[in-house]
Chains A and B, each alone.
Chain A
């Protein structure tokens, strides 16, 4: 760091460490989500490969796999489509985990301002996934 300054914090080593952890979490999250989706997708092809689904008509609310509970029940029952949907949920959870980790990192550095900002973003994300 060649630019010491009274107000500016710059890109610190703590930032680097946080980013490395975050990078690992992102990679791992995407990998797990893709693996689960692949397993579910392969089962789905074996079970329903010859059926002819109609995606031209929107059924929305009639879809059974709309809640986390329904997805979990489906996975427990070995339902192929539910396993794919679980992969999707894991994928959505990956950036959320990233924000949660960043919140922890800011809290550990006693950076109250950015801990609060991260908490606001996390709350909005939780609202989308759990409430909505």
Chain B
């Protein structure tokens, strides 16, 4: 009894240590960022405006990533996120123009859901290869909104054959006191304090309700998938559908629900692009963010907190590429990347993974050389960041990543036993 008790308290202590380590790591990251900011003089790294742009860049990616998470947790790979997002942009513009912003958001989710339904019918009911169906949906999605825009927006005021503006968007609000206080602190350029204040000011200024909804949905996703029996059953369909079937779970139904939710999330991502990131609709304005969402999900190891981290990181690079004269800013970030890689190299060396450590160290040196031999980085490279980072993570940490065991596999009812 005593040993058991001791084992339990040791576990609690270890959990506490892990949490403590995380906080310490977060603090270290902030210190490094702040130091880099002071050293390079690129104060805009943590300026409220930059972080606001980062949040706006992150949200569509986050919604797409969560959409991918829902589908893949039930074992369906959803490459069609891009197409479903595109459908969402049209849905948002159309319904918001005619019936107001709330209808716009719902309409976008509905259009995404329709795209998801198509994917579910093909992959779940007919057992079609998930990737093929996704590619087809992306082709159909782009064609559909091109057709729909010409048909429904051409004659409207503020509309054209490929665009629409002049619809109302979800309300924005600024948190009183906090936003102003944080902003004035951020302007002082103090070590650490101003960086944290910049982040707070960026988050609390002109905050769209849709942004709030996005972050709430992260929590909802995590809670539903990991804390409810519905979520457990849904995930069991992604891990071992045959076993789930023997336990009496209607696997088809769970897969359908998951893919429909996935499509709706992607549609919301489209709404965010057409209503918050910009206030007008253009054909093809997703620019591959569905795929970046997929990348964020893989980067995040198929977990909501990971998707959030990945989206914020990718959103930051996406957001700053829109700022003026961002080459200098990206150049400063290069130093950050170099330091980060060096830290990883040391960690890997301590874990006795010599080859990985050597590769990391090499890349780190390369980044340092690049940093000190140039004054500015072409913004093309910023847009590329999510893809390069994901490739890098896949190549280096592929052993650490764990996707749902039956992800992407065909499942047919009655296959068990």
A, B in one complex: no
Binding site for A on B (CB under 8 A): none
Binding site for B on A (CB under 8 A): none
